[in-house]
Every structure is written in structure tokens, then in C-alpha cells.
Structure 1
């Protein structure tokens, strides 16, 4: 049975909250907290009980619960969840009632594509099976009708045995699994789409084709999966078969090797030689140009904010978009470069286009959230970064990092420090925010400790130079000036 309260319907089976305008994006933990509160509306639920139910067996800081409560209050209404001081939280919205699950229209389907097994017997071929999986994720992610889990989270479940448990952990209704065997110039692919709630086999296929047919196979898998999910959602999906990205299979294999590396921030720079090789083999390979433009712009963070890298990234992105105006990563790289060149309105146009082309890509959503943050819209930014996290729930570090940045901008300092406390290592741009948060909270010793870590990261550089290089990306220059003044004040108190 569903729980209906006001204009909202909580669907426990699908782990979905429907609002007046459709599905409401909630993290898995926030969903569990809300479910407990609305199903016991006349009770005060103690914090200990919430921790035991939502984080069983884990030691979690109290601020973590407060972050999720704050998120729920912003998504619903602040009055719906009240704090009973010294006791816990209580639902105080419209009286909930139980409703038949048959009374509602089907919700937007959610799906995870698990990494296809490499059946070649050669671990060196993992890049090929992983790359094919990632390509299917990217193509399916272009359908705004679905919520598609990102590669970094779905790849946590390689060779999964219990698909129902995987689906539960990722918060999805459907799972795609498959295998790839590449032998010389032939490829064999098996794939199946599973309804995780019933473990029913919705669709499956076996392909034994020439390697040159790989794009046609990927298109068919994407289209058949989309068609089956569309039937579940009762939506019409037009055929969206893409043009063949390259006729050079060696170029495509180099591109797949690059995808494997570019998916992780720490190894993204290692993707560059493979992308350049792919472009050398096929200068018309738009996707390779687009991914290279994104990697090039990321170097901006690695080479102490050298704007020349942003300009070179823009040039590569321009080439990609001339070859294919619908290359999402070409628009992403363009928006990224323009953002950090402080051309905010032009950046927004490019990033909006990137989001429209692939609304499920967490990289794209994250950069869009950064734009909102730097143009003084931190609350909107937090909503977008939450959507990114829903699609990549097993992401490590980046979510807390960017949430901390946005919460600091919003002057929600306690929540920001709670985010940073979850990180193994706080990067320098966030160390500056951490100094600001501790200072504003009156925690001067902690602010000084964060400052010492910042100085150790950039030995020999002046404090004002470090602050300017790390945070001078706000449209309102007063924000950077305030951060600089606070850091200098903390420095003077050491």
C-alpha cells in the first residue's frame, strides 16, 4: 500500500515519492527517514531509533541526520517535519492515509546497467566490455523518461549474484546484465533486462556479429531496453538510433580505453593519450574530440588554474560540436571552461544544453550545480547535486565535497562541516570553506587547523594568492573578498 499525505504519495515498493509535478528526487536515506515519519504520524520518533533504522550497524554523526531532515524540509515544506527538542522528530503535515497502489499512474522507471562480464578470459580486455556497458549507459541516459544510475555506482556490483539486493541498494526497479566475448574480429554479446521486484525476465537477446556491428548492437540494446521500460511507464519513445560514431574500430577501442580512465577524476588525465590516438586514427570522431575537450578543461584544476587550458579545451570542444552539435560532453566542456572564465551567462546556455542532451549524467549535473552555486543560487545547486547523487549513489568524496561548497555559500555552516567530516581528505578549495565555516561558528582552533593543512598543501605561496586562486569564481566578487578576509584573520590569530 502507498501512503498519501497532502499532494504527495509515498510508494514504498518502488522507493519513490510522487509530488504535484511528478517524481521528487530523494536520496535513499532521506526516503527511509520520511517513510518512518509519515507512517507513524502521531509519534515522536527518537533520533536513536532513526539512526538504527536508517543506518543499521553504522556509527553516524548526529549532523548527518540533520542534513537529511533539512533536505526533506526544503523538498516538502518546513512545517511538515517538526523538531521535538530533546526527543526527536515528528511528522506534522496533512493527515496521511493508506491508498491502493493500483490507483496511481506508473512512475518514471529507474534502471541500472551492471558491467557486462568479460568472457574473453583476458583481463586486459575488461576495457572493452566496460566501455560497451558505459556507452549503453550514456545512450540510455539521454532518455529523460528514465532515471539511469551512473557508471561509477553500477560498476560497484561487478559479477553480482543477487540482483534483487543490488536493485535495492541502488534504488532501482530494473537491472540490465550481460556478457561480452571479443574474439579476433567477432563479438558475442548476451544481454537481459530484469524486473528486480519480481525477478521476471522482461527481455533478452544473444548477438554473434562482426566487430564492425558493435554500434548496431548497442543501439538495439538501448532501443529494446527503452521500449520495454516505456511500455511500463506508458510513454511513447521515438526511435533515437545514433549515427555510427566512427568507422575505425582501432579508434573506437582507444576511445573505450579512455572512457575507463576518464570515469574517475584521479585517472582522467591518463585518458588523454588514448583520446588523441583515437582522433589521429579518425579525425572525424566527434565523441573522442568531446571527451578530450572535457579532460583538457579538467587540467585547469591540476596545473594551478592555468586559464590557457580552458581556452584550449574550448577549441577542442568547438571542433567536437562542429562534427556533432549534439555531443553532450562538448557542451559540458564549453560550459565548464566558460564558467571558470567567469562568462556565466554563456556558460549557463552550454550547460543547460548538456543537461537536456543527457539529464542522467552525474558529471554534467555536478558542473551545472557549480554554475548555480557560483551565481548565488546555492539552494538550487543543492537540489541539482542531490539529483546527481541519486544517479551515482556510490560516489565517494565528490558529493560531500560539492555539498560542502554549496552549503558554505548558503551560510549553512554546521551542515557544511558535517559534509567535510565524512571526507578522508578535504581538497584545498574546500579547506578554505572549512576555515570560513569554523570561523563563523566560533571554532577558531579548528579554523586554524584547517589553515595549517591549506598552507602545507601550497608551501611557499601567500595566503591571499591561495584563496584567490581557489575560490575566485563567484559572480559576486564580495564572496571571495569575504573569504579572503576571514582566512587572513584566522592567519593573524595563529
Structure 2
């Protein structure tokens, strides 16, 4: 296609990429090389006379045809970005009509082998990565002598553009960076370092998902790759690790990208990179010589754990940072879920030692003072450690009822339940779930309980109720020594039972050195109700619900629990805990199919409305709503959001990590699901149903040895549990196609219970049908019919 009225008879559209006048690579637009263009536009008509058109006229005509410009199989729509190496266009693929981003090397770099190598490095590195948070490459090609590649069009801009908004939403910033860190970890596993992580290189798609892009400085970890050669451009000041600045690119490790991730996180949380200056050399000098500033020195309102995470990433020495981008991602996710992070602030002696390395002359002059400060620091650290015990675990055993009337057993259980529930609100104390401690009612071996539940302390109690009075004895034992470390007797009016529960819970927390926040103290002191009859109905219903599992629950028990809870809230319409149990019961009935009707769903919705009205910000409210979204609507994303909020005030509630694990598993996050299940197991270590779920997850991952070991643990707790025995027998079948153990297990179970085949009829029939064994098929069908 030629430009009209051109005074130079040379084509402006050149499909070969070769200058039509001198034969060199075309470097300006798609026409003449730079030398021939200057000659044509400034000086001559070929005979030394002045050309009629100026250089501006000629350049304008070169730009003219761009309204219908194609590169290879793509129609160029508009330019959307330009850097030192390439230009990026929004383009449309001809046949699929897909809109893409297309990056082409700048024509002025066509003769630079180093730049061409870097450009191809970017395409090669990104094309080797297949991860949901890495910008995908669609095609690598060449047009007019210049290489280009097409990639996903990210319509949400970059983190650099989103930074002002994300600074106001630190949780979202952390969530995005956790995904980015996972993507970088994936690249590292594939053997690729990025080396230029910065907000502008992390794009956002239309749904707000982050996409790591621009692998122009990527380096293969394997030494024999073409990407090992180091370009002269080493990254972006302000975001690159000190070892990159110091010229050790050839020996870089994944720790360099961990530093970059920390710098990007710092920027998103504060609005600026860790180091700033009037020019690049100043920034580079600061990064080389100074420790990174503390996050909260720039943004004091941010959480201290985020400061610790950033500091860990931005350590000057690579070995002091997170071991991998994956470890960083895990700590960010722990923070999001309200868990304790792994990173810890650098101690005073280490900070002093690092300062002395940076300032050797001053350090030498002040050696005596430094030694003294170190001693004082160590003494202070020891004193603080002695004054603040580590986070302890406690198991509260069901209180013994000493009243002759059997009805008062529920009252004793109620006192116990109240103490356990209130202590579980203390974040600095690990409190074992009711389901795990219920098995130890009346058991006297304190050391054995400590080993089985992995706790340091056990609280035992006895309750006697008579003539309107309550007599209670509470004793706290150290499971390591079997010694009683605290005991107290109480004699109160029955009407003061809720005050008594709060008093015991606060005394135990103080005895164990667990700091109780003002919010936790208020939650502990708040009575569940003032109506003892309503409380009795609530306790009876809760006892029924606790004895129900998804595999064995009885329809009658759930409906009886609903009836009792309806009585409780009718007597006390502000009985919040009863509403929470009632919502869960309705949702289980609906989810389990006992009454999967619109009427049942509306009943659950009405209860959820009451819960939100009474305590809209309570952790129990968020948990009840999360369960409702999960069981009633299968709305996993909204359920997950509620669980994140619930975890902040219910640190010892095992249902939160367990439901989170179910959601992660349903959404394909298998390893994250396992992590959450294991956390639930820490809080509820004797609930073998959690171990069963862990085994099922291992099965889906084909980790058969882990599956077998987990089921062996189940069978030590419940040796007669038929589903677990069958599942354990199936491991050999799935892993090695060996049915021997399965057949022997089936024979043993049927000898114990001839009607048990319904628990395993599906795998049994499948196996005997595949084996074409008519006798075995007949036996299986006969047992099923029986």
C-alpha cells in the first residue's frame, strides 16, 4: 500500500522489513531505514536539489496507513504502552476475533543482538509458564523483520495504577500479593527467575485477578540455558535486591524475587517503594547500604505482622529472607485468615550485629558499649520470655455432676459448656474442641490426656445443684507433671451461674498467662441468656446436634433439636447462641435432604435475619452466615468471605478451618485444603471424621502412603468404624490393583455384622463385576438385598 502524493517514489508499506533503497533492515515504521529517510526528507531529490516535502511531511505519511495496519495475523487497534525495548498494542486476531496485547520490539533496536536476545528471552520464559496468575503468551512470530508476540489482554491496568486504591484496602493488597507470590513460586519451580518484579509488571485482568508479566530480564536457574546470559540492564531501582545492584546477577537465587515481592507489597501498603531518591543512583546507593525502612514508620496504622512480613522479604542478606516465594505466600495467607505468621521480628542482638557490619569504624570505637547493650538486650529478652508464657493448650473436661437427680446432669454440662465457650474466645490460648474432650469424661490419667490432645493443661470440675444453690469445684492440672497448679471451690445462687462461668474462664486465662483483650473480656462477661429454662432447652438441643455427623445423624434428632431451640428463642427472643444453633440445624436438614424444600429454606433465612439483627459483627454471626451460604446455596465465595471475618474473633473454633477446607477442596485448592484440615485437627484432635476427610483428600491427590497412614490413625481411635476399615482396604487396590486386603476386610466385617454391606456395596460390586466372578457378584447382591 503506497502513500498518495509521495514525492519520493518508495513504498511506505514494506512487507519484507527491508529498506527498499539500501537493503538494510527497515527501522522507522515499515519503510525506509533511518539513513535513507533522513536523506530523502532533509536533503535531496536524488540530484542534490531540495525535496518538495519536509521530514515532518514524510513522517506524517508514514504514520498515515496505520488506520488499517496488520502484523502477521493481527489487526493493530491502538498503542497502549511503550518502553525502552518494545511497544505494546491492543490488537485483534483475524480469525478468532480475540482481542490481545501484542508486543513488538522497537525498530530502533533491530540491529541490537543484546536487545533481540532479551526480547526473545521474555517470550521464551513466559511461554514456558502455565499458571492462572502468569500472563499467558499466545503466539511468538516475526513481521517485517521484527519479532513480536501476542499475549492475553489485561483490561484492568496494573498494580501501579491500582496502588492508590489498594493502599486504602490492605487486605485486598495482601490477597493479590499472595497470588502473585504463588505465581512467582511456580516460575521458580520451572527454573525461571523474574528479576524485575514491580507494580507496573503485575497486571490485572477484567475480574481483578493479578497476572505477572514482562519476563524481559528472566533468567533460567539452569546454567546451560540461553537465558543465563546477563543483560546490561539489571532491573528497576527501588524494587531490585541488593545483590542485583552489586553486580552478582550470575549468582542470583529465588531470594532476589522474594525481595522484589516484598518491595511491591511495601509499595501497595504505603504508596511508595522502600527506597526513594531524586535519581536512580541515589536509590541504588540506599538499597545497597541501608536497611529497608520499617513499614509502620511510613504507615503507622498498618498491622505489626505485615511490617514483619515486609521486613523478612527486604532483608539485605538473601539467606535471611523467606526461603521461597511459596513460604511468603503462606505467611500472607496466614495473616489473611487470622493465623499466627511464621516470620518473626529480628532480635536486638542481630540488629546490633548488622549495624556493626555496616559501620565498622564506629562499631570498633563503641565495642564496650555494644557489648553492654547486647547483655542488656539478652537479659531483657529473657525477662520478657519468663514473664510471658508461650501460647498454651488446655483441655476442659466435662464437669462431673454430683447431684442425685439425673436431670441435673444437663445443668453440669451447661456450666462446663459455658466455661469452654468463653475460654475459646481468648486468641492467645489454644482450647480443644468439645468433640475431642467429650471422650475423656471420667478419665483420670492427666498425662495420657495431655499426650492424646497435645495440651499442657487440663481443667476438671464437679457440680452439685441443690436448694437453689450451685456448688462447684474446679482444678487445673499440668499434664507434664500431673501436678495440680490451681483449685477453687465456689458456692453461689443458681441464678449466678453465668457470672460464675465468666469468673472461672477469666481466672484460668490469667493463670495461664494468656492476655485477654478488652473485646475478649466483654465477650466472656456477656451472659448467653437470663432464662434458665430457655438455657436448659438450648443445652439439650446442642447435645443432640453435637452427637450428629453427616454419616450417622438421625432425622428425628435434628427435628427434636429444632423443636427445643424454638422453645428457647420463644422464651428469650434475644437468645443469640440459640439462634446460631437453630440456623445450623435448619441448614443441615435442608442440605441433607431430610426436608429440601423452599419452606425449610425460608425458616433458615428468618433465623439468619434474627442473628444479624442481634449481633451483626459477631464472629458467631459470620460463621452461621458462612454455613448458610455453603449448605443452602453452595455459594462458596461468599461463605469464604464470612469465614475470614469469623476467624478474627473465634480463634479456637474448629468448624471455621474445616469449612474453609471443604470450600478450598471443592474449588481445586488441594494443598490449601489439607493445611486447613490439619489446623482443624489441632483444635479437635480426637475427631476422627476430620482425619477421614484428610484421607479422602490424599486419595484425590493419589498420595496413597499418606492416605494409608491417616486411615491407620483413624482406626486407632475407632477400630470398629466400618467406612474407615473399607477405605483403608481400598488403598492397596487403588495404588497397586491388589484386592487381597479388600476381600479379607469385607469377609471380616460381614462375620461381625451380616447387614453391614450397605456401607461398602458400591466398591464391592464394582470390584467383583470387573473380576467377572459370578459367585462373588451373587454374594454381593444377596447381601445388598438382605
> TM bucket by the smaller chain?
0.5 to 0.7
The two structures have a TM-score, normalised by structure 1, of 0.63
1:353 aligns with 2:636: no
Call closer, same or farther: CA 1:203–1:313 in 2, change over 3 Å.
same
Query: Displacement, 1:158?
Result: 2.0
Shift in CA distance, 152/456, structure 1 to aligned 2, threshold 3 Å: closer
- In the other structure, the counterpart of 2:210 is none
Q: Deviations over 1:266-305 (max 9, x none)?
A: 3662422221211121122111010111122222453268
| Residue number among 628, 651, 665 corresponding to 1:337 in the alignment | 628
Q: Is the 8 A contact 1:401 1:420 kept in 2?
A: yes
Check whether the contact 2:476–2:485 (CA below 8 A) recurs between aligned residues. yes
Change (3 A) 1:342 1:190: same
Report the equivalent of 1:28: none
- Is 1:320 the counterpart of 2:611? The answer is yes
Is contact 1:117–1:159 with CA below 8 Å preserved after alignment?
yes
Q: Hey, what's the Cα distance between the residues in 2 that align with 1:405 and 1:115?
A: 31
Which protein shows a greater Rg?
Answer: 2
The CA deviation string for residues 46-86 of structure 1, in whole angstroms up to 9 with x for no partner, is xxxxxxxxxxxxxxxxxxxxxxxxxxxxxx9xxxxxxxxxx
- Per-residue deviation, 1:263: 1.7
Please state if 1:280 is matched with 2:582: no
Residue 706 of structure 2, aligned match among 391, 404, 415:
415
Summarize the Cα distance change of 1:284–1:149 in structure 2 as closer, same or farther, 3 Å threshold: same
**Which residue number in structure 1 is paired with residue 533 of structure 2?**
250
Q: What is the alpha-carbon distance in structure 2 between the residues aligned to residue 441 and residue 307 of structure 1?
A: 44
Q: 5+ unaligned residues in a row in structure 1: which ranges?
A: 1-20, 22-75, 77-101, 464-486
> TM-score, normalised to structure 2's length?
0.41
State the SS of the aligned residue for 1:115. coil
Q: Give the one of 641, 649, 659 matched to 1:367.
A: 659
Match of 1:271 among 540, 561, 566: 561
Using CA pairs under 8 Å that are at least 6 residues apart, name the structure with larger relative contact order, 1 or 2: 1
Moved more, 189-198 or 296-305: 296-305
> What's the offset of the Cα at 1:222?
0.9
1:59-98 paired onto structure 2 within 5 Å: none
Partner of residue 180 from structure 1, selected from 457, 463, 466: 463
SS across alignment from 2:398: coil
Matched ranges for 1:46-445 at <5 A:
105=385, 106-230=389-513, 235=515, 237-238=517-518, 239-240=521-522, 241-265=524-548, 266=553, 269=558, 270-303=560-593, 306=596, 308=598, 309=600, 312-325=603-616, 327-340=618-631, 341-395=633-687, 397-416=688-707, 419=710, 422=715, 424=720, 442=737
Task: Kindly provide the CA deviation profile for residues 126-160 of structure 1, in whole angstroms up to 9, marking residues without a partner as x.
Answer: 22211221221121111121111111222222233
Match of 1:38 in 2: none
- Secondary structure of 2:461's counterpart equals strand
**Are the structure 2 counterparts of residues 447 and 322 from structure 1 closer, same or farther at C-alpha, using a change threshold of 3 Å?**
farther
Secondary structure of the structure 2 residue equivalent to 1:123: coil
Secondary structure in 2 matching 1:176: strand
Q: Which runs of 5+ in 2 are unaligned?
A: 1-307, 309-341, 343-381, 747-754, 773-786
State how far apart, in whole Å, the 2-side matches of 1:248 and 1:276 are.
14
Q: Relative to structure 1, is the Cα distance of residues 291 and 456 closer, same or farther in structure 2, using a 3 angstrom cutoff? A: same
Pair 1:331–1:433, CA change in 2 (3 A): farther
**3-state DSSP class of the match of 1:254?**
helix
Counterpart residue number, 1:36 = none
How many residues align? The count is 366
Residue-by-residue CA offset, 1:237-267 (whole Å, 9 max, x unaligned):
4433332221211101111222222222236
- Shift of residue 443, structure 1, vs aligned partner: 5.9
Of the structure 1 ranges 358-367 and 245-254, higher mean CA displacement relative to structure 2 is found in 358-367
Q: CA RMSD in A?
A: 4.1
Q: Give the Å deviation of 1:365.
A: 2.8
